[in-house]
Amino acid sequence: MAPTPPLQGARIGGPFTLTDQNGAQVTDRAFAGHYRIVYFGYTFCPDVCPTDVANLMHGWQLLSKTDAARADKIKSIFITVDPARDTPAVLKSFTANFDPRLIGLTGTPEAIAKVTRDYGVAFSPQKPTSPGVYFVDHTNAAYLMDPDGKPLALLPSDGTPQAIADELSKWIK
């Protein structure tokens, strides 16, 4: 008997309309039929976000080497919690540093507020230390969603790439 996904039935996710790193409008329906790694962060994050995204992408790349067919069923998505600074051009540069398949999404403050609420992600920009320089506290979670956009599991983004690849292997059919 197959294990039950830990997030099965959780109220995480939902419809969205955002802008990708190429400036194109994207809805959640663009990812229908694909498993999704969904991570919320911001490009100006000094440590946690780039480390987590690197781990997630390395885990996905490991799966690609051992089981390309299953890895190809995945779309990896980085959604900013800092739409004021994370323009499509900034996201394009950021995502290119990790994997050419990584999709960066931004939007209006209202659209970002909605998608974070739907995914149970909290975020709070801190007081600027100087003009335009501030940190954003946010929930640190990497969701694995199924091809219908339903939550399956949290990925260990702070773990090793092998742990991430193993978790992906466990749930990707």
pLDDT bin (cut points 50, 70, 90) of residue 3 is confident
Q: Considering only CA atoms, which of 15, 20, 38 is closest in space to residue 106?
A: 20
Please give the pLDDT value at position 131: 85
Checking if the pLDDT of 136 tops 90, the result is: yes
Please give the pLDDT value at position 113: 97
Q: Which tens digits make up the pLDDT trace of 40-54?
A: 999 999 999 999 999
Please give the pLDDT value at position 137: 93
Distance from C-alpha of 34 to C-alpha of 29, rounded to nearest angstrom: 10
Q: Who contacts 63 (Cβ-Cβ below 8 Å, separation ≥6)?
A: 70, 71, 74, 165, 168, 169, 172
Residue listed under structure tokens 């190429």:
22
Please give the pLDDT value at position 145: 98
Helix boundaries (H) for the chain: 48-66, 68-71, 88-96, 109-118, 161-171
Distance from C-alpha of 139 to C-alpha of 115, rounded to nearest angstrom: 13
pTM strictly above 0.85: yes
Please give the pLDDT value at position 29: 96
- For residues 120 and 79, the answer to whether their CB atoms sit within 8 Å is no
Tokens coding 151: 């939550």
Q: What is the mean pLDDT of the chain?
A: 95
Q: What is the mean pLDDT of residues 90-119?
A: 97
Q: Bigger pLDDT: 82 or 129?
A: 82
Please give the pLDDT value at position 111: 98
Distance from C-alpha of 57 to C-alpha of 55, rounded to nearest angstrom: 6
Q: Which tens digits make up the pLDDT trace of 87-102?
A: 999 999 999 999 999 9
Q: Which tens digits make up the pLDDT trace of 24-34?
A: 999 999 999 99
- For residues 19 and 88, the answer to whether their CB atoms sit within 8 Å is yes
> Which residue type sits at 141?
A
- At residue 137, the 3 state secondary structure works out as strand
Cβ burial of 16 (10 Å; 0-12, 13-18, 19+) is buried
Distance from C-alpha of 69 to C-alpha of 114, rounded to nearest angstrom: 33
